[in-house]
Amino acid sequence: MVAGVPPDYFSETGQYWGNPLFNWDQMVADGFQWWIQRVQSALQAVDIARIDHFRGFVACWEIPGGDQTAERGRWVDAPGRELFTAIRNALGELPIIAEDLGVITPDVEKLRDDFGFPGMRILQFAFSSDTRNIDLPHNYRQNVVVYTGTHDNDTTVGWFNSVAGEGSTRTAAQIECEREFCLKYLKTEGAEIHWDFIRAVLASVASIAVIPMQDVLGLGSEARMNLPNSTAGNWLWRLHSEDLSEDFSRRLRELTELYGRLGNDEGSERCD
């Protein structure tokens, strides 16, 4: 048996990763020492760690090793509550973001919330249904992390200009419907759609907003970081110092200040 995820937004046949699954029985037996050491090491390098595929700590997608796609997998329980309890007992409160995208069930939400981990919202996902979509900013709660798009998404400009048949799982009609909803919701004509997205995530109540540098620069699909379920052409984009400018810095600073994200306790633009 090997790991992967079932069919989803990114792939109609799921994602067949092919790597082995964790030996949870062994990890439980030694008190999750490998995990404790791994998280401790990560937090020496970063302030906040994001755990991808968080739902795999409740149940993971197990696929027969001889298959070529992930369609015939099954959900297998995992000891997530015991794991995070052991890590917290060893290291204290955990600055962890839970990547809770995909097939999320109430038990996954309960595990996330019981440990106080913020979940994720992706603005590019917000326009595919109706006004109840949890990725629309008016539906956010404070304890979430919002992204214009993640490493698995196209850039915002690439997403906005996408057409059916170019690696997209959406039809031409779906793409146009999402685009029209997006323009209406953000009250824009789309000339600088990346800055419209940046403003929307910074203006939201989400406690953390993450903006990929490709979106700050307004780059298209040529700068996409990763295409899920593919093995070639990924993680090649690089940022060069000459790509940056005072204008980008100024615009980011203005929006960060305007929406109270400077990291201090004082507001700005007082009129007293």
What SS3 state is found at 238? coil
Long-range contacts formed by 134-143: CB under 8 A, 24+ apart = 136/185, 137/200, 137/201, 137/203, 137/204, 137/205, 137/206, 140/204, 140/205, 140/206, 141/205, 142/205, 142/206, 142/207, 143/116, 143/118, 143/119, 143/207
CB 193, CB 162: distance < 8 Å? no
> Would residue 99 show up in a list of annotated catalytic residues for this protein?
yes
CB 141, CB 122: distance < 8 Å? no
How many whole angstroms from its chain centre is CA 91? 25
Query: One of 12, 25, 30, 52 is an active-site residue; which one?
Result: 52
> Would residue 52 show up in a list of annotated catalytic residues for this protein?
yes
Instruction: Give the phi and the psi of residue 40 in degrees, each rounded to 5.
Output: -60, -45
What SS3 state is found at 247? helix
CB 97, CB 124: distance < 8 Å? no
CB 204, CB 146: distance < 8 Å? yes
Q: Which two tokens stand for residue 111?
A: 């595990």
Query: One of 100, 152, 178, 196 is an active-site residue; which one?
Result: 152
Using CB atoms within 10 Å of the CB of residue 189, give its burial: 0 to 12 exposed, 13 to 18 middle, 19+ buried: exposed
Query: One of 25, 62, 67, 99 is an active-site residue; which one?
Result: 99
Residues noted as catalytic = 52, 99, 152
